[in-house]
Amino acid sequence: MRRFLIAGNWKMNTLRQSGVALAGELAAVAAHEEAGVEVLVCPPYPYLLPVGERIGGSAVQLGAQDVYFESPGAFTGEIAVEMLKDCGCRYVLIGHSERRAILGETDAVINRKVRAALAGGLTVVLCVGELLAERQSGQTEEVLDRQMEGGFSGISEAEAASIVVAYEPVWAIGTGRTASPEQAQEVHAVLRAQLKAATSHSDRISILYGGSMNAANAAQLLAQPDIDGGLIGGAALKAPDFLAIMAAGSVSA
């Protein structure tokens, strides 16, 4: 059974004090799990521990924004799966469009991270999505198929059930543009079909929408049949906005 997940990706934002304060506001509302909706926050690495401590005992889960695929060792600047788990993380984002576009991560690198995270017991939020030029040239389905195939390569049936897919139309991230509910649903339906072809556990894999979801458009987006939550960027940094999205998720779940 698919679950609703409302996830906040704080990216390279907040300082310790502001991050802990934000986490506290969310935890105060999400004192217990509401109507089948799970809540996740992914702060920057330095604040995993204090944020994790602040949300402890609430229904808010802790996740990281990335991970490396090697075991602990001589990999300066990287973070291992074991370290994230030691900080209390249950989730990790992998393949975010900014890491693909800005930091040059390939499908092969992303797949190694996915396999390492799953092997270490983390739930993976696998991010996929097309550029504006790719959408305009009719390549959306082709791009998603390639990214999904790359992300799921070498993943067992059992492991597939521990993956959440997040659809990020890159042209709608931080641009003020948002896919209409109908556009988002159309692509989510494509992803759902791809999952059904790839694994028998497709009915347990949630698909989040990650293209500038906010308090104003969340209810319409989350009402779509194949949208199981949101991966929230800018709105996740404002407690009232994120709480409004959480509430919309509770209604749609």
Active-site residue numbers?
A: 96, 168
Rounded Cα–Cα distance for residues 136 and 19 (Å): 38
Rounded Cα–Cα distance for residues 44 and 75 (Å): 19
* Max Cα-Cα span within the chain: 48
Tell the residue number behind the tokens 């017991």, with chain if given: 121
**DSSP, residue by residue, 49-95:** HHHHHHHTTSSEEEEES---SSPSSS-TT---HHHHHHTT--EEEES
How many other CB atoms sit within 10 Å of the CB of residue 184? Answer: 26
| 59 Cα distance to chain centroid | 17
For 198, residues 6+ apart whose C-beta sits below 8 A from its C-beta are: 148, 149, 152, 160
